[in-house]
Amino acid sequence: MADDLKHPKMNSLIDPFGREITYLRLSVTDRCDLRCTYCMAENMTFLPKKDLLSLEETEMVAIAFIDRGVSKIRITGGEPLVRRDIMTLFRALGDRLGYGLKELTLTTNGTLLAQYAEELYAAGVRRVNVSLDTLDEDRFLKITRRGKLTPVLKGLEAAQRAGLKVKLNTVALKHDNLAEIPSMVQWAHGEGFDMTLIEVMPLGETGEDRFDQYVPLPDVRGQLEERWTLKDLPYSPTNAGPSRYVRIAETGGKLGFITPLTNNFCAGCNRVRVTCTGRIYMCLGQDDCIDLRAAVRDTDNPQAALDTALDRAIRKKPEKHDFEISANGQTSGVSRHMSTTGG
Ligand code: SAM
Ligand code: SF4
């Protein structure tokens, strides 16, 4: 039976600018086994566990979104694979694939991927984004402040063996990996991984100067064009969101650019984010949020309360984000870390 017949889409989430929300990024923890310099402070204070939605509550929230037309869910964090029993959530949501949900995926730093790749595939995950900013062991330690590269490389191998399609996410960092980006692209494409480059965004205090880390991606693209032929790929439903993709003729692989600072792509935004405490943020770059935890916990009819909360939230989705890094080094961002909102 056709998917839409099995699960008719009623009451979909359309924001005041006419954008239909079909994509949920769902954070399951603010914790992480790494401390990437652009993401977290070295001595992060994490939330008390009691503040987090339980996995059952998280599932309830996810299902409320699926019932309102969300067809893609990305599990994120912090590091999603450090959340205890996280596979129960993947399995529960995997059961909704084909019943409203079309894609279940995750973004991970890869350190635990070797352990979970097969279970993820069995739960219905087919694609995974793995964040990797360098292939150099010492640099990896410097950027992550504590990590080791080898487990991530093993995780990537395990993901491929399990049948998961991998895309690498790489934040361009002026002093750490700028010179390495071409060789990383070459390597990634040689391994069969697509790759996306990301501009550093001013989200939360990290103890580092964001302007000092920031590289405008049009500059990186210019450097890559000196060596390779980059062909723009057309914008399409599978090539939507904030990333713009090119195909590199010489490597045959796809490369994306996420440029929230040099180029604002909010017009086509189809996503919202829910934190591990159940707050829905309509925009990564704005502070406005609505609490879904009370709707899940403190009512006799959580489904109806969630529905009402989603209606209120969708009416508040802003037209675009507010953050910027200007030429004189002034940054204006939001105080939440990416790991809090869910990257
Ligand atoms: N821990 C997982 C990981 O690293 O893939 C998932 C969460 S992480 C917050 C999601 C993505 O956000 C990663 O690709 C990371 O590189 C990116 N990120 C974190 N802080 C960022 C920032 N300030 N600017 C741009 N990207 C950031
Ligand atoms: Fe952890 Fe991901 Fe943030 Fe790095 S980017 S500190 S891996 S949450």
pLDDT in the model for residue 288:
78
What pTM was estimated for this model as a whole? 0.92
Average pLDDT over every residue of 140-167: 98
Query: How far apart are the CA of 272 and the centre of ligand 2, in A?
Result: 19
177 lines ligand 1 (CB under 6 A): no
pLDDT digits (tens, 9 = 90+) for 186-203: 999 999 999 999 999 887
pLDDT in the model for residue 212:
83
- Ligand 1 atom closest to 169 (CA): 14
Residue 299 has pLDDT above 50, yes or no: yes
**What is the SS3 assignment for the chain?**
CCHHHHCCCCCCCECCCCCECCEEEEECCCCCCCCCCCCCCCCCCCCCHHHCCCHHHHHHHHHHHHHCCCCEEEEECCCHHHCCCHHHHHHHHHCCECCCECEEEEEECCCCHHHHHHHHHHHCCCEEEEECCCCCHHHHHHHHCCCCHHHHHHHHHHHHHHCCEEEEEEECCCCCCHHHHHHHHHHHHHHCCEEEEECCCCECCCCCCHHHHCCCHHHHHHHHHHHCCEEECCCECCECCCEEEEEECCCCCEEEEECCCCCCCHHHCCEEEECCCCEEECCCCCCCEEECHHHHHCCCCHHHHHHHHHHHHHHCCCCCCCCEECCCCCEECECCCHHHHCC
Looking at every residue in the chain, the average pLDDT score rounds to 89
pLDDT in the model for residue 324:
66
Ligand with an atom nearest the CA of residue 198: 1
Residue 61 has pLDDT above 70, yes or no: yes
Residue 301 has pLDDT above 90, yes or no: yes
Looking at the chain, the whole-number percentage of residues with pLDDT higher than 70 is 87
Query: How far apart are the CA of 126 and the centre of ligand 1, in A?
Result: 20
* CATH architecture of the domain formed by 2-341: Alpha-Beta Barrel (3.20)
Average pLDDT over every residue of 279-306: 87
Whether residue 4 contacts residue 53, with contact meaning beta carbons closer than 8 Å, is answered with no
pLDDT in the model for residue 264:
65
198 lines ligand 1 (CB under 6 A): yes
Query: How far apart are the CA of 249 and the centre of ligand 2, in A?
Result: 32
Residue from 26, 39, 173, 208 whose mutation best tests the ligand 1 pocket (most atoms within 8 A of CB): 39
Whether residue 164 contacts residue 125, with contact meaning beta carbons closer than 8 Å, is answered with yes
Between 62 and 242, whose confidence is greater?
A: 62
pLDDT in the model for residue 202:
80
User: Of 38-42, 46-50, 236-240, 317-321, where does mean pLDDT reach its minimum?
Assistant: 236-240
The model's confidence at residue 284, banded by pLDDT at 50, 70 and 90, is confident
Question: What is d(CA 122, CA 124) in angstroms, rounded to the nearest whole number?
Answer: 5
Ligand with an atom nearest the CA of residue 199: 1
Average pLDDT over every residue of 154-175: 97
Residue 71 has pLDDT above 70, yes or no: yes
pLDDT in the model for residue 334:
65
pLDDT in the model for residue 280:
92
Between 172 and 316, whose confidence is greater?
A: 172
Average pLDDT over every residue of 63-91: 97
pLDDT in the model for residue 265:
65
201 lines ligand 1 (CB under 6 A): yes
Residues 6+ apart with CB under 8 A from 226: none
338 lines ligand 1 (CB under 6 A): yes
User: Of 2-11, 77-86, 150-159, 239-248, where does mean pLDDT reach its minimum?
Assistant: 2-11
